[in-house]
Amino acid sequence: MLRLVIGNKNYSSWSLRPWLLLQGLGIPFEEITLKLDTPEFAREIKRYSPAGRVPVLLDGELAVWDSLAITEYLAEKFPDLSVWPSDPAARARARSVCAEMHSGFASLRSALPMNVRASLPGCGWSMAVQADVDRITGIWTDLLERSGGPFLFGKFGAADAFYAPVASRSATYALKLAPEALAYRDRILAMPAMQQWCAAGRAEAEFLIHDEPYSRAP
């Protein structure tokens, strides 16, 4: 069985992406959770990945690290599932928006770290953050218009998993979204797998100060 090495569910947006993709597509896997920013993490992650970061997908003796590489591996291993859209043009757009999320939106990432436990309306807002939000909601609106929904390319797939952390951030920071984008965000947050992830994140006790720029340490 596949195994997925992840970090804290409250904070690790990178871990959420492949976890939600596996869950959403019904691919069985075992979960290995390593607590971020601990001596144990630094020691244990070297067993799984030379990059020293989560997530890592383990398939027997093979380790695949980086969320985008994991996605491509799953698409090849499970070609009958909707990791990517079947239509070539839609598949190219899906890869493009996932790559944009993977490498872009630095202002949103730094100012609005994922934190499913918190409620921080208005914190971290800036013009640069708003520009990232506007671009993301523009992506969502365009793709939903093309596909007809309910997910970005009709069926749930990689693009939805990659933008799920933004849906979480939107709730945490009470981002103002256009009606179509808000409805899509709510569909992502209502997914049973997403509900499971968030419930587990809220139950975690760890407090990582660099992911809590607007909170006081307990």
Distance CA 148, CA 184 (A): 11
Residues 118-134: tens digit of each pLDDT: 999 999 999 999 999 99
pLDDT band at 104 (very low <50, low <70, confident <90, very high): very high
Q: Are 99 and 170 in the same domain? A: yes
102 lies in which domain range? 88-200
Q: Is the peptide bond before 213 cis (omega within 30 degrees of 0)?
A: no
Q: Are 103 and 188 in the same domain? A: yes
Percentage of the chain exceeding pLDDT 90: 97
Q: Are 176 and 107 in the same domain? A: yes
Residues 170-189: tens digit of each pLDDT: 999 999 999 999 999 999 99
Q: Is residue 189 part of a domain?
A: yes
**Run of H or E including 62:** strand 62-65
In total, how many domains does the chain have? Answer: 2
Q: For the chain, what is the mean pLDDT? A: 96
